Amino acid sequence: MALGNKSGKTYIYDLDVVEPSLIKASVLSHPKCNSAIRQTALSRDGSILICVCDDATVWRWDVKKDEESKREEAMEK
């Protein structure tokens, strides 16, 4: 699930967990994205997220790549 806010940040929630209390949000942001996000859409496989903002910009995020890189960084530490 992906939700955008009025300051240009997008929160992604992985709902595929055993216990609902384990759901955590990942935040996607960019310094140039600072207007309200009005719509979000995920591809069927959940790998691409599109966000549409009030300032007529469209942002594409490669979600799985971002999540995989975070996991790889955590495993390296």
Q: Which residues of the chain have pLDDT under 50?
A: none
Tell me whether residue 26 is exposed, middle or buried, using C-beta atoms within 10 angstroms of its C-beta: 0 to 12, 13 to 18, 19 or more.
middle
Give me the pLDDT at residue 21, please: 85
Token pair of 59, please? 């942002």
Give me the pLDDT at residue 74, please: 52
Give me the pLDDT at residue 75, please: 53
Give me the pLDDT at residue 66, please: 52
Give me the pLDDT at residue 5, please: 93
Give me the pLDDT at residue 71, please: 52
Give me the pLDDT at residue 39, please: 95
Name the nearest CA neighbour of 2 among 20, 10, 28: 10
CB 3 within 8 A of CB 36: no
Residues 6+ apart with CB under 8 A from 38: 4, 52, 53, 54
71: helix, coil or strand?
Answer: helix
